[in-house]
Amino acid sequence: MLQPLEKAILVVIDRLTRDTYVATDSDEVAGELKAMGFELPAALLYERLFGQLRDAGYLGDATTRTGGGRVVHVELTPYGREVAREDADPMEEVYLAARRLFGSEQFSKVYPGAFGPWAEAEKLLFGDQPESQLANIGFNCRDAVQAFAGELQERYPPDEPDTDPTHAKNRLRAVIQTYKPRIGERRAVTLDRMLDLWDADVDLIQRQTHANERTGKPLNVNDGRRVVSLTMFLMTEFATILDDMDDPPPPAALEPAG
């Protein structure tokens, strides 16, 4: 039977390699494990865990120890990936599915100004000390939503564009109003309702940027997670709905990476 740390190693490798199915290394795995609250053994013992998992058929034969506590070419076998997902958290599965779409080439290349700061916020959230980065997570999410509204306005020029980069909601509303006939009534209503949710996200982001101030109940990592997740969700849905309308402008409609 796998020990908790061994199972966690498989889960982390699956998380790190799920999008591309390429190898990772023990240093990357260690960073994720620490963020999950695991205390790692001494370097030599940590290194040996990967050899044991390889010999037991969970990791591929290419998994190689280099000495000094580092293991390279770490990849799961089909059996190892199956075991890693045995007790998968449904919420994490949903997040990862949305994350694959959001990080796909179609989104990151079309909306690079939005994807860049958001990805930095996610990195801070899953880093070693997310509690100390809550304000920076908020600042990055703020930059992401403002950049997204600007890039969306450039991609879908509205009849009455807003030139102020801080007016994210106004820019989104202008795009929706201009393209409503091509979006379709049902999806246009969805976008209108999502503008209300956008307001809530902006309020959360604003509170997040003041995380270092000693006012009210202090924020925690869950507050950071909500901001990062909701921001990703809203940007993804705005992009996909608009790209689904009749005769969208180039590039091709946003689709999940194959």
Complete DSSP assignment for 91-135: HHHHHHHHHHHHTSHHHHHHSHHHHHHHHHHHHHHTSS-GGGGHH
With 50 as the cut, is the pLDDT of residue 250 above it? no
Q: How confident is the model at residue 216 (pLDDT cuts 50, 70, 90)?
A: low
Quote the pLDDT of residue 13: 92
Q: What is the largest CA-CA distance in the chain?
A: 64
With 60 as the cut, is the pLDDT of residue 48 above it? yes
pLDDT (mean) for 218-239? 89
Q: How confident is the model at residue 9 (pLDDT cuts 50, 70, 90)?
A: very high
With 50 as the cut, is the pLDDT of residue 251 above it? no
Least reliable range by pLDDT among 188-192, 223-227, 251-255? 251-255
Quote the pLDDT of residue 74: 95
> Which of the listed ranges 10-19, 111-120, 200-209 does the model predict with the highest average pLDDT?
111-120
161, two tokens: 């564009």
Q: Facing residues of 24 across strands?
A: 74
- CB hemisphere CA count around 123 (13 angstroms): 8
Cβ atoms of residues 9 and 53 within 8 Å: yes
- 115, 125, 130, 144: which is closest to 205 by C-alpha? 144
pLDDT tens sequence across 154-198: 999 999 999 999 999 999 999 999 998 888 888 888 998 999 899
With 50 as the cut, is the pLDDT of residue 253 above it? no
Least reliable range by pLDDT among 11-15, 74-78, 192-196, 216-220? 216-220
Contacts 24+ apart (CB under 8 A), 217-222: 219/134, 220/131, 220/134, 221/125, 221/130, 221/131, 221/134
Cβ atoms of residues 208 and 141 within 8 Å: yes
The DSSP 8-state label assigned to residue 219 in this structure reads P
pLDDT (mean) for 19-48? 84
Quote the pLDDT of residue 218: 79
Residue at 107: amino acid letter:
F
- CB hemisphere CA count around 254 (13 angstroms): 24
Ramachandran area for residue 215 (φ above 0: left; ψ -120 to 50: alpha; else beta): beta
